[in-house]
Amino acid sequence: MAIEIERKFLLTNDEWRSQVKSRSKFVQGYLSTTPERTVRIRMADEQAWLTVKGKSCGNSRCEYEYTIPLTDAVEMLDCLCKQPLIEKWRYRLDFCGHQWEIDEFIGSNNGLLVAEIELKEADEKFSRPTWLGDEVSDDPRYFNSNLCAHPFSCWNNNCSISPGEKNPVP
């Protein structure tokens, strides 16, 4: 069984930008967002994946990911996935022996920046960059699957998303 151990943090400044090694645009949508399982379609750099994740237990959960044809992903994102879709720029950088991924959300989650680190062990030690802020690993508001139903742009505006609505109006 594949296990994902991930921790998520907010950012305190833009110092990380000078350390970026690569950048990709991601578009993803959810077929299922129940606490027991999430099923996601994701596209990046002309590639696409179907990902199934189990229920979180602390900072870890089982994860299965499969490459799918890009045309299938486009159709599923357009016709089957919950709206609005999650759109973001993902930046990758290395810091003290670990790879960090920083997601800069656009679209209905514009303005949200989150740093993630994947670990081999739940209690693995890592160095904290100066740009790293508060940990939000256990805050469900920051789960990508929840950002679909409750976009960042609505957090302070009490707006809601109607089924099928792609661009919420705050």
Six-digit token string for 167 = 């661009």
DSSP assignment of 97-112 equals TEEEEEEEEEGGGTT-
pLDDT of residue 164: 41
b or e along 112-127 (b: 16 or more beta carbons within 10 Å of the residue's beta carbon)? bbbbbbebeeeeeeee
**Predicted confidence band of residue 60 (pLDDT cuts 50, 70, 90):** confident
**Is 30 one of the catalytic residues?**
yes
Structure tokens at 9: 């943090």
For 102-158, write each residue's pLDDT tens digit.
999 999 999 999 999 999 998 999 999 999 999 999 999 999 999 998 999 999 876
Which one-letter DSSP state was computed for residue 149? H
pTM passes above 0.75 = yes
Average pLDDT over residues 35-55: 94
Give the tokens for residue 78: 């357009």
Three-class SS of residue 90? strand
What digits encode the pLDDT tens for the residues 73-87?
A: 999 999 999 999 999
Domains for the chain: give ranges and CATH numbers. Answer: 3-154 (2.40.320.10)
d(CA 83, CA 144): 12
Q: Which of 30, 64, 66, 142 is catalytic?
A: 30
Categorize the per-residue pLDDT at 169 as very low, low, confident or very high, splitting at 50, 70 and 90.
very low
